[in-house]
Amino acid sequence: MSWIREPIVVVLGHVDHGKTSLLDKMRGTVVARREAGGITQHIGASHFPLDAVLETCRRLLGEVRVQLKIPGLLFIDTPGHQVFANLRKRGGSIADMAVLVVDVMQGIQEQTVESIQLLRARKTPFVVALNKIDMITGWRPVPGAPLKDSLNGQAPQVRETLETRLYTVVGQLSNLGFQSDLYMRISNFARTVAIVPVSAKTGEGVADLLLVILGLAQAYMSKQLEAREDGAEGAVLEVVEEVGLGATVNAVINNGVLRVEDRIAVLSREGPTVVKVRALLMPKPLDEMRDPRDRFRLVEEVKASAGVKIAGEGLDKVVPGSPLYVVESDENLDEIFEKLRSEVEEFVLRTDKLGVIVKADTLGTLEAMVNYLREKGIPIRAADIGDISKRDVMESSAVKLREEFLGVILAFNVDIPKELEAEAASRGVRIFRGEVLFRLVDDYLQWVEGTKEERARASFERLIKPAKIKVLEGFVFRRSNPAIFGVEVLSGELTPHVSLMNSSGRVVGVVTQLQNMGRPVAAASAGERVAVSMREPIVGRHIKEGEILYVAVPEGDARLLLSTFQDRLSDDAKVALKEIVEIKRKANPIWAM
C-alpha cells in the first residue's frame, strides 16, 4: 500500500532576513520572540495540514478551485544551510523543495549565495520569498492581504520601488545561473524560479507563497511524493540530550512508517549500528518541534512525511546527517549496513596522497565541503567528522614538507584542543576554521592565491627589468668620473644600480643615480627624461651622444622574465626585452633559453 506524503520544505536564507518570522506568521506562533535576537537557534519541523493551509488561502484569495492530492506541508525550520546539508540522501536531498528568504532591502547576501550553491548541488527546486516589503519607504500595510490586493493599495512610486528591488534580485539570481521572475508573470514554473514578495510582519503575500508551494508540489512532484508502507527511511538532523530521556535524535522521515520497537540502522562514529526505538515523540500540528507550547506527545508510529524525536539506547554516538533505515529482518542487515557505508565512503576518507585535511561537525556538512573542494580541483588526504586530532596535525605537517599549500586543515564547526593548536602552530600547520561552509573553502583558496601572488611579486621585484634609453644630444653635464648626461627612456623602466650595454652587447658601466630637476628619483618610465650618473664610462669614448643603450639584463633574470613573468611586464618593456635578447643571441644563440 502506498500514499501521497507531504512535501518536505526547507527554509533557508541569510541571517536576519526573516526565516523564523515568516514561519511564525504562517503558524501563528511567537517562536522568534522567545529566541535570543529572533535568530533560529535550533532545529524544528512544522506540519501544516492541508485543510489549515487551504483555509488560510481561501480566506485571503477566495475559493481554491484546484483539486489538491497532497495532504499538507512539512516545513523544516533550520538555522541555515548547515542543517539543510544534513537532509541528505545519496545523490540529492530529502527536502523536496526550499523557500529561500531574501530581504527586499538587502538582496542576495553571502549566506544566501551559499544556500543557493547547496540547493544547486542537491538539485532542490526553490521559491524566493522576497521578505520585508513593509520596510519599503511609503508602504501602506494591508495586514494579511494577498499580494495583488496589497499592491493595489500602494502609491505608484512604492510599486516602482518594489519592482526595482525585485529586478535587482532577478539580476543577482541570473548571475548565479537561475532565471526568475515575479510569480504572477511566470508561465513555465519548471524553468523559472518564482519570486513571491511577502511581509513576515504584516502577513501580506503569505497566502500567495503557500499557494505557490502547494501548486508546484502538486504539478511537479506527485511521483516523488509516493510513500510506501514497508519500512521507514529518513535522515538524522541532530542529536539532542533530553532530560529524562538521555540522548535523542531529531529526524525527518521521508518514506514509509516508523513504529515504536522498530530497529533502525544509522551511522555512529564507530560505523553502522542498530538502535531499537524506545519512544517516538511528536509535536502537535501547527506547533513546533523544538519549542512546543504543550509538551511532546508520545505516539506509537509516524508515517512520512514527519519530523520526529526518537528515543533509544546508544543514540549519543549517532552522526548528524546519517541516513536512517528500518531493519525489518536480520537477513537484510548486511545489505543495509553496506548501503550506509556506500553512502559515506565517498566523503569520509583517508588516503596517503598529498592533500588537505577536512574536518566537519556532521556528515551533511562534510559531504558539502568535500564536493566543493573536488569541484575546485583541490586534492584531499583525509575527510572525517569530529574534532581535530593529533593525527590530523601530524599528517598535515608531513604533507606540508612536500607541498606547502596542501599542508593545511579545513575545520567546519569543530573544536581543537589548545595544546594541539599550539602544536600545529609550532609545525607551521595552518588551520582554517569557519561557520560558513563555502566561505571557509574560499578563504583557504584566497590564502593560497594571495600567498603565491605575494611571493611571485617579490620574486619579480628582485629581477633586473629591461629598458631602452637614448643619450640626449647637447645634455652632457660631465664627461667622466662620474659621467653625467641626459637620457630619454624609450621603453621599459630605468632604475639605479643596473648595468647598461650598447647595441653590440658590450657593458659600458653601472647607473649610480638618476636625477630629475636636480633631485634623485627611484625610477624613470617610458617617455620620461632624466640625468644619469655613471662612474665607469667617458662620454665621447665609451658612450656617444644620440646613442641607444639598453639595461644589461642578466641571463637568469631574462630567462625568468621570458618564461614566468612576461605577463607582468608592460608592452613597451616586452619590446625592450625582445631587442636585448636579439642582441645577446648574436653572440650566443641559446642565451636565456
Q: How far is CA 53 from the centre of its chain?
A: 34
Is residue 29's pLDDT more than 60?
A: no
Q: Averaging pLDDT over each range in 25-34, 214-223, 291-300, 310-319, which range is the top one?
A: 310-319
Task: Assess whether pLDDT exceeds 60 at residue 81.
Answer: no
Per-residue model confidence (pLDDT) at position 50: 79
The CA distance from 452 to 383, in Å, is 25
The string of pLDDT tens digits covering residues 463-477 is 999 999 999 999 999
Tell me if 577 sits within 8 A of 592, measured CB to CB: no
The pLDDT value recorded for residue 68 is 75
Question: Rounded to an integer, what distance in angstroms lies between the CA atom of residue 485 and that of residue 476?
Answer: 4
Q: What is the mean pLDDT of residues 68-79?
A: 76
Please report, rounded to a whole number, the percentage of residues in the chain having pLDDT higher than 90. 55
Are 471 and 556 a contacting pair, CB within 8 Å?
Answer: no
- Taken as a whole, the chain contains a residue count of 593
The pLDDT of residue 32: 34
Angle at 138 between CA 132 and CA 144, to 5 degrees: 50
> Which CATH number is associated with domain 2-226?
3.40.50.300
Asked if 77 contacts 45 with a C-beta cutoff of 8 angstroms, the reply is yes
- 467-587 under CATH 2.40.30.10, yes or no: yes
User: Has residue 292 got a pLDDT over 90?
Assistant: no
Query: What band does 47 get if pLDDT is binned at 50, 70 and 90?
Result: confident
Mean pLDDT of 97-122: 89
Q: How far apart are CA 32 and CA 15, in angstroms?
A: 13
pLDDT > 60? residue 30? no
* CA dist list (Å): 216 to 213, 219, 534: 5, 5, 81
User: Which has the closest alpha carbon to 11: 89, 85, 80?
Assistant: 80
The most confident of the ranges 51-60, 174-183, 286-295 is 174-183
229-343 and 349-461: same fold?
Answer: no
The Cβ of residue 177 has, within 10 Å, a number of other Cβ atoms equal to: 8
pLDDT at 82: 62
Average pLDDT in the 218-223 region?
82
- Residue-level pLDDT at 63: 63
pLDDT (tens digit per residue) in 131-144: 999 999 999 999 88
Question: Mean per-residue pLDDT for 336-364?
Answer: 87
CATH among 3.40.1160.10, 2.40.30.10, 3.50.50.60, 3.90.850.10 for 229-343: 2.40.30.10
This prediction has a pTM of 0.76
- Give pLDDT, residue 37: 30
- For 545-562, b/e burial (b = at least 16 CB within 10 A) is eebebbbbbeeebbebbb
pLDDT at 267 over 80: yes
C-alpha cell belonging to residue 276: 531499537
Q: For 518-570, what is each residue's pLDDT tens digit?
A: 899 999 999 999 999 999 999 999 999 999 999 999 999 999 999 999 899 99
Q: Tell me the pLDDT band of 283, cut-offs 50, 70 and 90.
A: low
What is the pLDDT at residue 31?
34
Per the DSSP assignment, residues forming a β-bridge with 375 are: none
39 pLDDT band, cuts 50/70/90, is: very low
Q: What is the dihedral of CA 133, 134, 135, 137, to 10 degrees?
A: 100
Give the chain's mean pLDDT.
87
Distance CA 393, CA 35 (A): 38
Q: Tens of pLDDT along 406-464?
A: 999 999 988 888 999 999 999 999 999 987 778 889 899 999 999 999 999 999 999 99
The grid coordinates of residue 518 equal 636636480
Query: Which amino acid appears at position 21 of this protein?
Result: S
When pLDDT is cut at 50, 70 and 90, the band that residue 93 belongs to is: confident
Q: Which class for 115: exposed (0-12), middle (13-18), buried (19 or more C-beta within 10 A)?
A: buried
Residue 369 has pLDDT above 60, yes or no: yes
Architecture of the structural domain at 349-461: 3-Layer(aba) Sandwich (3.40)
Among residues of the chain, what percentage have pLDDT more than 70? 91
Band (80; pLDDT cuts 50, 70, 90): low
* 494-504 pLDDT, tens digit each: 999 999 999 99
Average pLDDT (175-199) is: 94
Q: How far apart are CA 131 and CA 121, in angstroms?
A: 25
pLDDT for the residue numbered 476: 92
- The DSSP annotation for 315-348 comes to GGGBPTT-EEEEE--GGGHHHHHHHHHHHHTTTS
Average pLDDT over residues 254-263: 93
Report CA torsion sign: 386, 390, 391, 396: positive
Domain boundaries, the chain: 2-226, 229-343, 349-461, 467-587
